[in-house]
Structure 1
Amino acid sequence: MSRVLRASAVMAAGTMVSRVTGFVRTAVLAAAIGTLALGDAYNVAYTIPLILFDFLIGGVLSSVVVPMIVRRQRSDPDGGRAYEQRLMTLGVIVLTLVAIAGVLLAGPLISLYSADWNPRKTEVAVKLAQFILPQIAFFGVGAIAGAILNTRDRFAAPMWAPVLNNIVMIAVALTYYLSLGTAGTNIGTVSDANLALLGLGTTAGIVAQCAVLVVSLHRAGFRFVPRLDLREAGLGEMGRTAVWTFAYVGISQLGFLITTKLASGAGERAPGAGNSAYAYAYQFFQLPYGIIAVSVITAMLPRMSRAVADEQFGVVREEFSSGVRLVSALLVPAGLLLMVLGPAVTVLIFSWGNMTIDAAVYIGNVLQVFGLALVPFSLFQLLLRVFYSFGDTRTPVFVAVGNVAVNGLLSLLAYMILPAQYIVMGLGFSFTVTYVLGTAVAWTLASRRVGGLGGRVVAAGLSRMYVAALPAALLALAVLWGSQELTGLNALSAAVMLAAGGGLGMVLYLVIAHRMRIPEVSSVVEMVASRVRR
């Protein structure tokens, strides 16, 4: 527990700064381009390279590459150095070719992820995508560098590097807004030069992020020497394992495609209640997951992979169990507070520039729905790492098929039966139900693999955490109602709600949980107290 906590704390600090600057980035960008036609066009164009990266290499890194690097570091006479160089060489070649192909195919890609858009909106999205898609190469190289750093237990740089990306994008969005003002949201009059500023500025941020990771890897002792003897890179073994990862990511992206098209269609029927609202709410939903769960997941996977290689399955169970308890101790209150304070968060962040209070509140309503999914979604991601540590990329594919089927069916029902302004909230609820069911299935399968995951102990621990978190949620709700009655909902009152409701609510949770002797919360409290005493 203490090892995971210490490693996670280092990563969480960087992730916290990254996410906070990401908040500012999102707020400034939304203030500059809004959530109407231009905002939807940008968000779809921005998402496509992330989808392609995730499909081609993102999932493979966590499920295949990290465990394989760990094994090569243990078995190869040179400690896996040549293997790492071949891997980097392969990544540079493949990702550069994919980036070029993406730019050439920007039009069909935009058409695939949009619905019922007029020609001008499609044209703008295509131009933005052509400027943004080259970032795939830099994003991928940086991710490979980060994976190699993680196998060497160097976790700080991958968590801090996105901060520079966010700073670059904040500067770009501010420049755009100060140059155009309210005209910056008008998709009919925005010029190619303005689109180049947005698109190339977005790519410049990823270039800076990649540079930080490459330099950090060099300082860790890695020396990149291009190696074209790729037959020695274990591509056959990697391919046999990765084929299931590609299938998993492809199936998951099919679900994302359905969601994006439905959200895009909803935005055409109810302007401002479309893909941008969904994307911004999802990004804020990812904040507590990114700070807490990702840090633990990143620290867990190399350790579980080493334990599996040594056939120490008891260590796998211990690592997973401690990770689940540690993650849940902070995500349980975070999820409840998001359900209560979602509109306060988004009004404080989004009610500036070309955004309106109503648009910000709508994003907050979607965020409230996502709050329900925070714990099951995070537990699902932890469970996947159990399979990946065994080199099992096949089982998650079958779980993903069920997830996509459930999510697709529920999302289509929401699109057909809900009023247009509620469709995106319905999509968020479909996401929640999907991960509740998916987590139950994945838990059952993973438990069989390692001989039990302590389900009863975890369930009892979660129950105690929810009991401790309920007073915090009620306090936040009381602050929310009281503030709205006195001043209404605006940026100032939202700040008060978050400080009083969210801040005091979390303190109340920590106090109650500590008194209830929930060990994971006590560990966090003691670690923070020791740092303060220093």
Structure 2
Amino acid sequence: MASATVDSGGIGRASLFLASGTIVSRILGFVKLIVLAGMIGAYGDSADAFSIANQLPNTVYVIVAGGILTAVLVPQIVRASQHADGGTAYINKLLTLALLILTITTVVAVALAPLITGFIGLNLSSDQLALAIAFAYWCLPQMFFYGLYTLLGEVLNARKSFGPFTWVPVLNNVVAIAGLVVFAIMFGADPTGSRSAGEVTPAMVAVLAGSATLGVVAQALVLFYFWRRIGLRFRPDFHFRGVGLRATGRMAGWTFGMLLLTTGAGIAETQVATLATGQASVFVLATAWLIFMLPHSVITVSVATAYFTRMSEHAALAKFDLVKTDASSAIRGTTLLIVLASAVIAVCAYPFAAVFVSPFDQIVGIGNVILAFIVGLVPFCVLFVLQRTFYALGDTRTPFFFTLFQVVLILLGVLGCTQLPVEWIAVGIAGVITVSGVLQAALAAVLLRRRLGGLDGRRMLQSLVKYLTAAILPVLLGLSLVWLLGGTQQGGFAVSGRFGAIVSMIAVGLVMASSYFGMLLLMRSAELQAFLTPLRARLRR
């Protein structure tokens, strides 16, 4: 697999390379989710129990290492690359220490699986809780391999080899899908979720959760091959003094606190969502969140990852004006496409839900959660870039405080959701996350503006207003087309099944995209022109 490199003129190429891997991975991720919903349903005991257990590795891992590595590794490795050995000693010592922490934490988490699962699933029935614990024993080892994947991948990113980190999740999804096919052959499908928790056998648990874990293992281990491709060799080094790990630890401390806050908020969300078991609950929230994250992962993460290394280089050289320029370019470039993506997903919320479930009441349930999430997509993506800019500056303290602000809002809002009718609890939780995210992004922008002495805010706001204006006509056209295709009524073509939903979404997406870009061309969007100019030059050649 080729490496994508970043220089002053290579951000666009690197971003497209990253996006291509993410697109393939996310498409397979949706295929996996569709197959999973076909195997155990989206509503019911098995779906919620597996969703809780399969989220545990991510939850616990994020507390210990996930965000710490993302926030700290790239800037610190960029700085360490200025050492005489190019940062090799730092990388080996850091990786050794991190793997020790991950090993200890994974062993403890597996040992405490009943306690952790019981705390998160407070409102589960005894049979459902027992099933969730059984799934957790198989899923929690993923935590170590997620950590290994992130460690190896972030080192590759810092060395400007971006491709492997975004392409190897394809392997994870292929392995997991194969496991689901084996599950279907051995045990049969349960698309309506009618199989009770007591009917799920240990063999079913092993195949379903074991294949999910095997995919994560493969995703992590294959990155060692790409390390060798760029000349890196991992040699355990337990001599942790003398390479700046103390400074790294101070940075990581604030991020650790921030992740404790966000994980606590996530646990509260899950606990309240389990009140709605049998309605839109944990699995539905996870499905809607995956849809929400699709454009963010493909567009924002791809662009921001490419910019992050360059911002870290500029920050290391104290070129803060260039850091400001990088942040502005990343935000304007991502929101150009994120506004369109938000509009298309909002218009197609019900057809999107129909890809996963068939009963119309379940389609409406998932669709409403998607709508509540998607309103906050643009601020969420802006926040991601702002947060990474703080990390590039070596500041993890400020993100802790604006995350604390959001978590307080989420806890208060989620507590209020307990008073909603059960069928609206998931929608309420999604709405709380959206509102708190918008306010968090606004606070982060104010704080970063103070830190950099400005943020190119007028230019970014003008671009955003232009994008939103350009989206008005596409939204009207899209809504009209969805209505004509019966996307809002039971039995309509757009919600009649997977085929009708996909065809409808493609048609609506094409109409909305063409009208959106057409409007931006008429409005002479500088960001769109910057994207089209090299494309036109290549086509001419």
Structure 2 residue 45 is the aligned partner of structure 1 residue 45: no
Tell whether the 8 Å contact from 1:476 to 1:505 is kept in structure 2 after alignment: yes
Tell whether the 8 Å contact from 1:115 to 1:265 is kept in structure 2 after alignment: no
- Residues 1:423 and 1:2: Cα distance change in structure 2 (over 3 Å): farther
Q: Residue 523 of structure 1 is aligned with which of 522, 530, 537?
A: 530
For 1:361 and 1:179, the matched residues in 2 are separated by 32
The count of aligned residue pairs is 525
Q: What aligned pairs does 1:56-75 form with structure 2 within 5 A after superposition?
A: 56-74=64-82
Q: Residue 446 of structure 2 is aligned with which of 432, 436, 444?
A: 444
For 1:258 and 1:231, the matched residues in 2 are separated by 39
Amino acid at match of 2:374: G
Q: What aligned pairs does 1:172-251 form with structure 2 within 5 A after superposition?
A: 172-182=179-189, 185=193, 186=195, 187-251=197-261
Amino acid at match of 2:345: L
Q: Residue 381 of structure 1 is aligned with which of 381, 384, 395?
A: 384
Identity of aligned residues (%): 34
For 2:481 and 2:187, the matched residues in 1 are separated by 38
For 2:540 and 2:227, the matched residues in 1 are separated by 34
Residue 3 of structure 1 deviates from its aligned partner by 3.1
- Residues 1:219 and 1:487: Cα distance change in structure 2 (over 3 Å): closer
Q: What aligned pairs does 1:381-530 form with structure 2 within 5 A after superposition?
A: 381-416=384-419, 418-484=420-486, 487=493, 489-491=495-497, 492-529=499-536
Q: Residue 161 of structure 1 is aligned with which of 150, 164, 168?
A: 168
For 2:424 and 2:525, the matched residues in 1 are separated by 39
Q: What aligned pairs does 1:6-45 form with structure 2 within 5 A after superposition?
A: 6-35=13-42, 36-45=44-53
The equivalent residue for 1:366 is 369
Amino acid at match of 1:313: F
Residue 519 of structure 1 deviates from its aligned partner by 2.0
Bigger Cα displacement from structure 2, 176-185 vs 105-114: 176-185
Unaligned segments of structure 2, at least 5 residues: 1-7
Amino acid at match of 1:358: D
Instruction: For residues 361-381 of structure 1, give each alpha carbon's deviation from its aligned partner in whole angstroms, at most 9, with x where no partner exists.
Output: 421221111110100011111
Tell whether the 8 Å contact from 1:157 to 1:212 is kept in structure 2 after alignment: no
More helix by share: 1
Residue 488 of structure 1 deviates from its aligned partner by 6.3
For 2:534 and 2:512, the matched residues in 1 are separated by 20
Amino acid at match of 2:260: G
Residue 533 of structure 1 deviates from its aligned partner by 6.0
The equivalent residue for 2:5 is none
Instruction: For residues 335-393 of structure 1, give each alpha carbon's deviation from its aligned partner in whole angstroms, at most 9, with x where no partner exists.
Output: 12221111111212x13xxx644324421221111110100011111111121111111
The equivalent residue for 1:254 is 264
Residue 59 of structure 1 deviates from its aligned partner by 1.0
Residue 55 of structure 1 deviates from its aligned partner by 1.2
Q: Residue 332 of structure 1 is aligned with which of 326, 336, 339?
A: 339
Bigger Cα displacement from structure 2, 92-101 vs 25-34: 92-101
For 1:344 and 1:183, the matched residues in 2 are separated by 21
Amino acid at match of 1:377: F
Residue 265 of structure 1 deviates from its aligned partner by 1.5
Tell whether the 8 Å contact from 1:87 to 1:233 is kept in structure 2 after alignment: no
For 1:108 and 1:528, the matched residues in 2 are separated by 55
**Superposition TM-score, scaled by structure 2 size:** 0.94
- Residues 1:487 and 1:50: Cα distance change in structure 2 (over 3 Å): closer
The equivalent residue for 1:345 is 352
Amino acid at match of 2:451: R
Q: Residue 108 of structure 1 is aligned with which of 106, 115, 124?
A: 115
Q: Residue 310 of structure 1 is aligned with which of 296, 310, 317?
A: 317
Residue 529 of structure 1 deviates from its aligned partner by 5.0
**Superposition TM-score, scaled by structure 1 size:** 0.95
Residue 2 of structure 1 deviates from its aligned partner by 5.2
For 1:80 and 1:413, the matched residues in 2 are separated by 50
For 2:140 and 2:30, the matched residues in 1 are separated by 23
The equivalent residue for 2:62 is 54
Amino acid at match of 1:208: A
Tell whether the 8 Å contact from 1:114 to 1:265 is kept in structure 2 after alignment: no
Unaligned segments of structure 1, at least 5 residues: none
Amino acid at match of 1:489: V
How large is the Cα RMSD of the aligned pairs? 1.7
